[in-house]
């Protein structure tokens, strides 16, 4: 199938939206049924023969991947291999780039996200994104976190207060900022700003969090805090992280995909990929023989 | 950075192989001193233990440094872990050699063996096993390990055979007890050395192909 990019006004959602006790915060991952021994989590995002072009450039080639729920999936590979482009396919961020063509299928919660009529705003609420460089709004810490819920229609102050506190706690930032919520977010350190951006993403109640090199602009201490945070986040969210730091991928992820020249060369359990990968190309990249 | 790491890793592997060959020679020389009652040479063989110890510490430190500085992964990680295991096994083989040389010294005033004991044959089998394992590591040629399990079985059978024969000799002539008890010990050390060679081979196989095997 071929999907042509359409950036039309959002139409009623084709997504399968779950109802929660609170519209934005809560058990966003559906039923809390514990996995049985040997049972593997179901894929929350699935791609089938995904191809992406930017103009003439064939960026992604026949990518088929299952992103499993409540796990951390790392995408690794040399610069320009397409890992960030793949990440952006998951919440249609590539729509914002001109002359984009995409074929194949990307499903979230079993719905094709490139189907006509998909509500892209809702999609990006359910599949949030954290970028390489912390990008807080030039507003207060409180307003940064409350911005998303407000856009989605929450007006009651007490409800906003609750969401802000919960999001900052989930992002392991509350203790550091609870006494200065109304000061400018620009006064926070780089690591704190990045955790604020994560809190901002959590505030709208996503299912999936995409992270594009979230620690590359941070020092080792701030990086360790984000990594600890990721470990905690996977209890409630599905996390997909693009990283150049292979040690980081090994530390934080459950599954790892290695990409090279637009292709997914190998995808599997992180322990397997980093101990004895099946593909020679993966092994050569991981051991620094190229890239 | 990566080139520097791989150059250092290659050098560490080569030095480990050299150390393993050093301890293999120590073991073989020690058996010769026992069979020929060569106390002078036994003292020299025994003195090599210090070098084994120094090389062990030096090589292990270099391996730890590579892990700490480069956080190796996949094949590199498997190779460093394998090197550490090979160092441990080689050091153990060296110690067995030193122990056999000590036996030679200890038996200086005891009557000689009436004829060349089967220990010599056993020692040559074990030394050949160690040689092949080291060569397999150096050349990354796993075919050298193909018949290692059956060769280990032969060594085990020899050990049991030596044990039974020696008991008979000691029962017939109690004056031989001191010498032949030590002789049983030496045979046991050789049998254990063969086991260490098999263990090294398992680790080398894992380092090269990433799959575990059991040689028994």
pLDDT in tens, A98-117: 899 999 999 999 999 999 99
Separation in Å, CA of B40 to nearest CA in chain A: 49
- Separation of first and last alpha carbons in chain B: 40
A283 to B2: CB separation less than 8 angstroms, yes or no: no
Q: How many CB atoms lie within 10 A of CB B167?
A: 12
Q: For the residues B45-73, what does the mean pLDDT come to?
A: 95
| Closest alpha carbon to A217 in A236, A240, A237, A245 | A245
User: Is any Cβ of chain B less than 8 angstroms from the Cβ of A246?
Assistant: yes
Residue of A nearest to B81 (CA): A275
Separation in Å, CA of A286 to nearest CA in chain B: 6
Predicted local confidence at residue B114, as pLDDT: 65
Predicted local confidence at residue A15, as pLDDT: 40
Confidence (pTM): 0.77
Rg (CA), chain B: 19
Q: How many CB atoms lie within 10 A of CB A251?
A: 18
B75 to A287: CB separation less than 8 angstroms, yes or no: yes
CB nearest A286 (choices: B1, B5, B73)? B73
Predicted local confidence at residue A28, as pLDDT: 31
Q: Which of A288, A289, A290, A291 to mutate to test the interface with B (most CBs of B within 10 A)?
A: A288
What distance in Å separates the CA atoms of residue A267 and residue A277, rounded to the nearest whole number? 9
B78 to A282: CB separation less than 8 angstroms, yes or no: no
Contact B206, B78 (CB under 8 A): yes
pLDDT in tens, B138-155: 999 999 999 999 999 999
Separation in Å, CA of A274 to nearest CA in chain B: 5
- Separation of first and last alpha carbons in chain A: 33
| Closest alpha carbon to A117 in A1, A4, A15, A208 | A15
User: Is any Cβ of chain A less than 8 angstroms from the Cβ of B77?
Assistant: yes
Predicted local confidence at residue A37, as pLDDT: 61
What distance in Å separates the CA atoms of residue A155 and residue B134, rounded to the nearest whole number? 73
Q: How many CB atoms lie within 10 A of CB B6?
A: 16
User: Is any Cβ of chain B less than 8 angstroms from the Cβ of A283?
Assistant: yes
User: Is any Cβ of chain A less than 8 angstroms from the Cβ of B75?
Assistant: yes
Please give the backbone phi and psi of residue B64, each rounded to the nearest 5 degrees, phi first: -60, -40
Predicted local confidence at residue A13, as pLDDT: 38
Please give the backbone phi and psi of residue A92, each rounded to the nearest 5 degrees, phi first: 60, 35
Mean pLDDT by 10 residues, chain A (291 residues): 38 35 37 55 89 95 96 95 96 89 94 92 93 93 96 93 95 93 95 94 95 89 89 93 92 96 96 92 90 67
B6 to A247: CB separation less than 8 angstroms, yes or no: no
Separation in Å, CA of B70 to nearest CA in chain A: 10
Indicate if the pLDDT at residue B198 is higher than 60: yes
Here the tokens at position A41 are 């989590």
User: Is any Cβ of chain A less than 8 angstroms from the Cβ of B205?
Assistant: no
Residue of B nearest to A246 (CA): B73
What distance in Å separates the CA atoms of residue A70 and residue A237, rounded to the nearest whole number? 5
- For residue B120, how many C-alpha atoms fall within 13 Å in the half-sphere facing its CB? 9
Please give the backbone phi and psi of residue B84, each rounded to the nearest 5 degrees, phi first: -60, -40
Residue of B nearest to A275 (CA): B74
Indicate if the pLDDT at residue B41 is higher than 80: yes
What distance in Å separates the CA atoms of residue A71 and residue B20, rounded to the nearest whole number? 44
User: Is any Cβ of chain A less than 8 angstroms from the Cβ of B111?
Assistant: no
Q: For the residues B174-186, what does the mean pLDDT come to?
A: 90
Q: Three-class SS of residue B116?
A: coil
CB nearest B71 (choices: A247, A276, A289)? A247
């Amino acid at each position: 199938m071929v999907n042509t990019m359409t950036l039309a006004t959002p139409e009623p959602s084709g997504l399968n939206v779950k109802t929660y006790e609170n519209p934005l915060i809560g058990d966003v991952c559906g039923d809390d049924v514990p996995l049985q021994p040997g049972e593997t989590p179901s894929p929350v995002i699935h791609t089938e023969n995904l191809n992406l072009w930017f103009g003439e450039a064939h960026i992604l080639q026949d990518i088929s991947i299952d992103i499993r729920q409540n796990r951390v999936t790392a995408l690794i590979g040399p610069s320009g291999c397409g890992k960030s482009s793949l990440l952006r396919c998951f919440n249609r961020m590539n729509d914002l780039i001109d002359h984009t063509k995409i074929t194949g299928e990307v499903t979230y919660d079993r719905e094709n996200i490139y189907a006509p009529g998909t509500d892209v705003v809702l999609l990006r609420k359910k599949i949030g994104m954290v970028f390489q460089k912390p990008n807080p709004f030039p507003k207060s810490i409180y307003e940064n976190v409350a911005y998303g819920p407000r856009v989605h229609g929450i007006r009651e102050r007490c409800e906003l207060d609750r969401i802000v506190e919960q999001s900052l706690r989930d992002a392991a930032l509350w203790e550091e900022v609870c006494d200065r919520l109304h000061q400018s977010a620009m006064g926070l350190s780089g690591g704190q700003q990045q955790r604020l951006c994560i809190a901002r993403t959590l505030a709208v109640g996503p299912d999936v969090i995409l992270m594009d090199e979230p620690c590359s602009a941070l020092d080792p201490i701030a990086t360790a805090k984000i990594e600890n945070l990721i470990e905690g986040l996977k209890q409630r969210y599905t996390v997909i992280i693009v990283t150049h730091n292979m040690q980081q991928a090994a530390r934080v992820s459950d599954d790892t995909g290695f990409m090279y020249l637009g292709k997914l060369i190998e995808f599997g359990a992180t322990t397997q990929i980093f101990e004895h990968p099946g593909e020679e190309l993966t092994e050569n990249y991981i051991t620094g023989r190229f890239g | 950075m990566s080139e520097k790491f791989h150059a250092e890793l290659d050098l560490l592997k080569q030095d480990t192989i050299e150390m393993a060959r050093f301890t293999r020679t120590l073991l073989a020389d020690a058996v010769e001193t026992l069979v020929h009652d060569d106390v002078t040479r036994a003292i020299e063989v025994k003195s090599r233990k210090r070098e084994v110890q120094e090389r062990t510490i030096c090589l292990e430190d270099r391996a730890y440094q590579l892990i700490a500085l480069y956080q190796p992964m996949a094949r590199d990680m498997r190779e460093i872990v394998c090197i550490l295991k090979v160092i441990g096994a080689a050091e153990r083989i060296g110690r067995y050699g030193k122990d056999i040389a000590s036996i030679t010294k200890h038996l200086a005033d005891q009557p000689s063996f009436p004829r060349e004991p089967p220990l010599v044959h056993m020692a040559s089998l074990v030394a050949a096993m160690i040689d092949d394992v080291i060569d397999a590591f150096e050349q990354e040629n796993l075919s050298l390990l193909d018949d290692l399990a059956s060769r280990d079985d032969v060594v085990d059978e020899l050990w049991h055979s030596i044990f039974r024969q020696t008991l008979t000799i000691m029962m017939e002539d109690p004056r031989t007890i001191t010498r032949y008890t030590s002789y049983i010990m030496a045979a046991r050390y050789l049998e254990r050395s063969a086991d260490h060679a098999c263990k090294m081979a398992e680790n080398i196989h894992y380092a090269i192909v990433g799959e575990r095997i059991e040689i028994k």
